[in-house]
Amino acid sequence: MNKEELKEKYGKKRVPHEWRKTDWFTTLIVTFFGSGMSPKAPGTMGSLAAAIVAYPMAVLACRLLEFKSDVFIGGEIFGLFINLFFLAAALIVFFAAIPFVKKAMKDTGTEDPGWIVIDEVCGIFMALAFVPLEFIIAQPWILAVAFGLFRFFDILKPLGIHKFEKFPGAWGVMADDLLGGFYAGILLGFGTAIAVAIGF
């Protein structure tokens, strides 16, 4: 994405409170409990809110529900973790959010407005789908790394992410962030595997 496209997407003027044109429940979902209503950098705020919420989710799944969700793919020396809990969370958010995003854009007459941040939530969860739950709980700084990597891919949209953004309607809003989260997760997963291998 070049400088002009970045300016057009992130520098455009937004209609104040345009989210009020849709119903309160749809607003609650697509703004992720209001985090997308931030007047500045709503996407960053939505991603940050998702990263913060991810920690108690990991604790709940691992310690309270005793959710065994980590699958290791690879050999004795090196491989990649698949966290089925956050993978499921990302996919559930992706498909469940589609009708809400579609309704929000239709009601407000907008196309991928900044205050819709449920797609960022999906991306953060997908990024964490490559980190073991126990590692997230023991090393919560990994959430900051996931946040940074995801925002990198979400803003710059390299490696074909911008093509997913061009999918029609709500699918385009959600799909590019899912792919961005996937790329961030792959990098995060390899880093985590290396950390585990050296006994970090």
Q: What is the pLDDT of residues 140-152, one digit of tens each?
A: 999 999 999 999 9
Cβ(166)–Cβ(172) under 8 Å?
Answer: yes
Please provide residue 157's backbone torsions phi and psi, each rounded to the nearest 5 degrees.
50, 55
Q: Which residues of 141-173 are buried (b: 16+ CB within 10 A; e: fewer)?
A: ebbebbbebbbebbeebeeebeebbeeeebbbb
H or E element in which residue 73 lies: strand 70-74
Share of the chain above pLDDT 90, in %: 55
Residue 77 has pLDDT above 70, yes or no: no
User: How confident is the model at residue 123, as a pLDDT?
Assistant: 97
Q: What is the pLDDT of residues 159-181, one digit of tens each?
A: 889 899 889 999 999 999 999 99
Average pLDDT over residues 11-17: 55
What's the whole-number average pLDDT of the chain? 86
Select from 4, 53, 51, 43 the least CA-distant residue to 153. Answer: 43
Q: Nearest 5°: CA angle at 88, between 141 and 83? A: 45
Residue type, 150: F
Please provide residue 99's backbone torsions phi and psi, each rounded to the nearest 5 degrees.
-65, -30
Supply the pTM of this predicted model. 0.87
Select from 61, 175, 158 the least CA-distant residue to 118. Answer: 175
In the block, residue with structure tokens 């703004």: 31
Q: What is the pLDDT of residues 21-47, one digit of tens each?
A: 889 999 999 999 999 988 888 999 999
Residue 126 has pLDDT above 80, yes or no: yes
Give domain limits for the chain. Answer: 3-69+76-197
Residue type, 35: S
